[in-house]
Amino acid sequence: MLNPKVAELLNQQINKEFYSAYLYLDFANYFIDQELNGFGNWYNIQAQEERDHAMLFLQYLQNNGEKVTLEAIAKPDVALTGNKAVLEAGLNHERYVTSLIHAIYEAAYDVRDFRTMQFLDWFVKEQGEEEKNADGMVKKFELYGNDPKSLYMLDSEMAARVYSAPSLVL
pLDDT tens column, 42-87: 999 999 999 999 999 999 999 999 999 999 999 999 999 999 999 9
- CB-count burial class (<10 Å; 0-12, 13-18, 19+) for 98: middle
How far is the C-alpha of 29 from the C-alpha of 39, rounded, in Å? Answer: 10
Would you tell me how many other CB atoms lie within 10 Å of the CB of residue 33? Answer: 10
HSE, CB side, 13 Å, CA atoms: give it for residue 129: 9
**Does the pLDDT of residue 170 top 70, yes or no?**
no
**Portion of the chain with pLDDT greater than 90, in percent:** 91
Number of residues assigned to the chain? 170
Question: Residue range 101-108: average pLDDT?
Answer: 98
Burial of residue 10 (number of CB atoms within 10 Å: 0-12, 13-18, 19+): buried
Output the CA–CA distances (angstroms, integers) from residue 38 to 70, 87, 144, in the order listed: 32, 13, 15
- C-alpha count within 13 angstroms, C-beta hemisphere, residue 17: 21
Q: Higher pLDDT residue, 166 or 31? A: 31
pTM for the predicted model, two decimal places: 0.93
For residues 112-129, give the mean pLDDT: 97
